[in-house]
Every structure is written in C-alpha cells, then in structure tokens.
Amino acid sequence: MRSCAPETQSSSSASRRGSTPSADSSRRPSEASGYAPCAQGDRCPRRRSGCCMPESSFLRDLGLLLLFGFLGAWLAVRLGQSVIIGYILIGAVLGPHALGVIADAALMRTLAELGIVLLMFFLGVEFSLERLRRVRAAVLLIGGGELLANLSVGFLVGYALGWSLMERAFLAGIVAMSSSGVVAKLLIEWRRTANPEAEALMGIMIFEDFIAVLYLGVLAGLSGEGARTSPALISLLKAIAFYALILGFGGRGLARLLTLALRVRSEELFALLWLALIALAGVGASLFGLAPAAGAFLLGMIAPARQSDLGERIYSRLESFRDVFLALFFLTFGTMLEGESLRRVLPLVLLIAPLSILTELVVTSSLAFLAGFSGPVALAIGAGMIPRGEYALLYAAFGQQLGLISSDLFQFTGWYVFAMTLLAPIFMKNTRALYRLLHRFIPRPIAFAGMLISITLRPMTLWSVTANAGATSRARCGTARWLLLSGAIALLLLGALAARSPMERALLSAIGVVVLAGLSRVTQRALEPIREHLELSRLPTPWADPHRVIAYTARVASSVPLAALLIATWWKDFGAWTLLGIPLLALIHIGWAWAWYRAWSRPISTASESAASKE
C-alpha cells in the first residue's frame, strides 16, 4: 500500500514563493474535501489521487438526514400539512446553525439538485406541448404582469429603506421569482396535475425561466461583470436558442432514442439510459445559461406521456429516485437557515412576505381572471405562485460572491424563502374557501368590470376553449397594429427615463397621451372580429352591448400603459409621489365600472318594477 508523505514539499515551495500556505491547508481534515488524515497525522497532499478513503461522516449525516426527514414528513402528514414543511424544519434543526448534527451539507446539496431535476422531468411527462400551447397567450399576460408587480414590490421596498440601486435590484429579483420545484412537488403530491390551473402554472414557470436568466444577465451588467458585452441580450438569445433546439429538433432525435429504449428489456439498463438522458438535458440547459431543471422539464414534455406503456415504465423505474433526492433538496435547504440572523432580518421578512402574498393573491389572481379563467381557478393560480426558491437563492449567492449585497440580505433570502414555502401549501390547499371569503368583499361594480374584460380577452387567451377559433385568428392578425403601437409606447418609456428637463418630460407626456388615445382605437378595432363570440351570458344582465364591452376593454387596456408612462416620466421630479397615479387610475376604473353597471342594470330594474305592478 502506498504511504502518505508529509507536506514538507508543499510547505517549502510556499516559503520559496514568499507566501503563506493556502487557507485550505490550514483547515481541519474533516473540512477539507471529506478525506481522513493519513497515518502520520498530516493531511495527504495526494488526496485527489485516491490514496486516502473518504470519511464516514458523510454517510452518518446522510443517514441522519433521511431518518429524521422521514419522521418530519410523517408528522407533517399527520398534521395535514405538506411534507415540504417537515423536511425544511428538520433540516433547520439538524443543520450547523442549530444542533450542529449536520456539520457540512455541501455534498448533499449537490445530490439534492438531482431531486429538482428529476422532479421537473416527471412534471414535463405529465404535460404535453399541446397543453401549454392552449394557454400561451394567457401565460404571457399573467406571467408578465406578475413579474412586473413583484419586481416593483422589491424595488420600492428597497427604495423606501434607502438602499443602493444594486441592493434594490437584487432584492427585486429575490422577491420576484417563484419556485417551480415547490409548485411541482405540491401539484404532484396533491394529484392536481390535471387541474385547469396546473398547465397555466407550469407555463408561467417556463416564462419565468426566460426572465430569470435575462435578469441574471442584467445583474451581471450592473455589477460590471458583463461590461464588455451585453449580458442580458446574450443570455436571452442563448435561452431562446436552447428552447428552439429542444422543442424544434429534439422530437426527431428523441424518436430514435425511444426506438432504442423500447428494445431495452433490462430494467437496470432502462433506468440508466433515462437517468443519463435527464442528466444530459440538465447539462445542456446549463451550457445555455438556464437552470438544469428547465432542460429536464423540456425533455419530459417531448418524452412519452404517462398514459403510454413506455411512460408508465419510466415512472415505475425512476419515481423512487425522484422522491429520495427531492427530500434531500428540502432537507439541505433547511440546513442553510441561520437562527442567529433571524432577529436581524425578521422585520424585513414580516414586511416583504405579506406584501408578496398579497401581490400574488390580488394581482396575479386578477390577471388570471381577466385572462378568462374562472374565479376559483384564477385564485388557485395566484396561490400557486406564492412559493419562492431556487432563483432567489441563486441571486443571493451571486450577489454575496461578488460582494454586492450584505450578509443580512443573504440571510433574509433564506428565511424569506422558508416563510413563503411554509405558507404556500396553506393557501394552495384552501383556495376554494378563500375564494368564497373574498367574493363577499368584492364590490359588485368592480366584479362586473372584471367580468367585462374577462369575456373579451377569453377568446384570445384561451382560444382552444372558445367557440370559434377562426374569429380568434382574425383578431390576432388585427392585433399586429396594436403590437406596433405598443413598440412606440416602449420607446416613449425609454425616452421618458432619458429626458432631462421638465419641459422635455412634459412634451413626452403630451405625446404619450395622444399615442395612447390612438392605442385605444386600434385595440378596439383589433377586438371587433371576436364580437359575436363573446360569452355575454356570463354577465348578470341580458342588456349588454358587445360593442360597448369591447370599447370598455380597449379603454382600460390603454389607460394602464398611460399610467406607467406618466409615472416613469415624472419619477425624477416627484419620486414616490408619482405612485399616487396607481390608486387614481383604480378610482377612474371603478367610476367607469359603476357607470356601466348602473346603465345596464336599469333595464332589469324597470322590468322588475313593471312585472310587480302587473301582479
């Protein structure tokens, strides 16, 4: 057996360079790569060559984590909660910042990443490309509005606290991105993958993957890491290229692999083949700057459906791997929580967590309702966007690595993700009861106004469930003019942010009002082809005029970018006071809704009074 020489050579070479030994050489053996010290008492300098055996502490930590994780999950199920809560709490108790039973979970975190990758693959198997195509327009509307609202919450909270632009940008990213892993786990655990909200939720998650990668490029650009190029544009192009490669050409290549898979009779070789494909899909996504889970999800979507024999075979062979590694993911996440920092970051968690939940339940659910989903389904979509996870931790780790954020903001991220993950199952599980409660407090004119917009947008956003897809196609062609005008609005927003003098800003505001007035007319004309296919029977009055319904929707659609334009234009002069435009806009919409409701309810009241007089 080869003996282990002392480290005299490495020490002498370090002294010849005039420097001290590296920090790695001063650490305890248990902290250095998991290898035991050699017989002479010195750590082996050739540990990478395999002359020393790994310590058994990893197996001990792994065994304790899984054992206590089982107990925590069992207790959570007995209490009627998700097993995720049990896993995270057990990880926090056993972690290095509490009891210290688990001293170093770095290697287990690497294994735990496989859990998310396998989870997203299985969720992709549950879905098909056709299911996502049916809601792609709704996904863009809901996902875009949800991200904009959450980014605004994080940015404004940082602004109110007096943070720097860099810290505000990181806080906005941490607050904005939902966790596809937690959502997918809950959907599978509660067997809700066939529910109407499931396909919308996963579509929004794919959309968020695009934006998350793009936003990471923006953060790199702000930090100076990407000053030589345009990181946001490059990241976006790489993400688009990966999705196009997988969805456009992956099906052909996978067909040949499926032919090979059908010939594999050995269950062992079959499992190895698919584990290799899943891992390679994750590696491919990483090379294009995406999360590995995104590649696994896309592979699952083009893989055989679960209803097929091959799909059921994949499930039966790989499901156990998914469950074990996914449990490790949530357990090791719990080990990251530092109890001592909770006192410092608790006020910020108590401030931002309720704001995030309120944003999802109000803004996201409202957008889903306006997109054409029913009230309970819309609220389920909003509740499903509450969890936070991998992207928040990624942004925090990136900021801490570059020294751009404080340690408190990093610890806030862990506790914020924990709080949102803890509360998400409660809201997701009780959406029906929550809908009945909220429905009582929504004023009737506001609900009526939302219904007007919902029945107008439904044929465009959920075209597969409407009566006439031909009219919808014509309407989409008409919206080309609306999109061109929207581009002009984007240019106006950029010009407003670049304007220096109040005179320039006033001129841009005037031009914006004129352009947006034209937008209202263009939008109304673009929506005319779907006039005969509006589901007016959903309204509580038979007197609704489809022309006026479309006109109201066009007016509301044009007023939203008008408010954004005015806020962006005058922010430099009035700061946060410009945000008063948001409640002002809401009051204007409520006034319009009240006028329409009274105008269309009057014939019903007159008819009821005449019927009563005849009796």
Buried b (16+ CB within 10 A) or exposed e, 459-485: bbbbbeebeeeebbeebbebbebbeeb
Most confident by average pLDDT, 26-40, 101-115, 244-258, 450-464: 450-464
Instruction: Give the Cα separation of 490 and 498 in Å (integer).
Output: 13
Q: Give which of 536, 534, 495 is closest to 512, Cα–Cα.
A: 495
Nearest to 121 by CA among 262, 242, 274: 274
Of the listed ranges 56-65, 422-431, 606-615, the least confidently predicted one is 606-615
- pLDDT for residue 523: 75
Specify whether the CB–CB gap between 445 and 597 falls below 8 A. yes
The partner residues of 178 in beta bridges, in order of sequence, read 388
Reply yes or no on whether the pLDDT at 416 is more than 70: yes
Q: Which residue has the higher pLDDT, 145 or 190?
A: 145
Provide the token pair at 114. 């496989």
Given a cut of 60, whether residue 2 has pLDDT beyond it is no
pLDDT tens digit sequence for 292-350: 877 887 788 777 665 577 777 887 888 888 888 878 888 887 887 777 788 889 999 99
State mean pLDDT over 218-241: 62
> What is the per-residue pLDDT across 504-551, written as a single tens digit (0 to 9) for each?
788 877 887 887 777 777 777 777 777 777 777 777 766 667 877 888
Mean pLDDT of 249-254: 66
- Band of the pLDDT at 447, cuts 50, 70, 90? confident
- Residues 195-205: tens digit of each pLDDT: 878 888 888 88
64-439 folds as Na+/H+ antiporter like fold (1.20.1530)
Residue 54 DSSP SS3: strand
Report the mean per-residue pLDDT for the chain. 74
| DSSP calls for 287-338 | HTTS-HHHHHHHHHHHSPPTTSHHHHHHHHHHHHHHHHHHHHHHHHHHHT--
> b/e string for 304-322 if b means 16 or more Cβ within 10 A?
bebeeeebebbeebbeebb
pLDDT, tens digit, 9 for 90 and up, residues 466-514: 545 455 554 554 454 555 556 556 656 666 566 677 887 888 778 878 8
Structure tokens at 225: 């890491």
3-state SS assignment for residue 51: coil
pLDDT > 60? residue 552? yes
Question: pLDDT grade, residue 154 (50/70/90)?
Answer: very high
Domain ranges for the chain, please list them. 64-439, 442-605
Mean per-residue pLDDT, 156-181: 88
Residue 52 reports pLDDT greater than 50: no
Percent of the chain exceeding pLDDT 90 equals 9
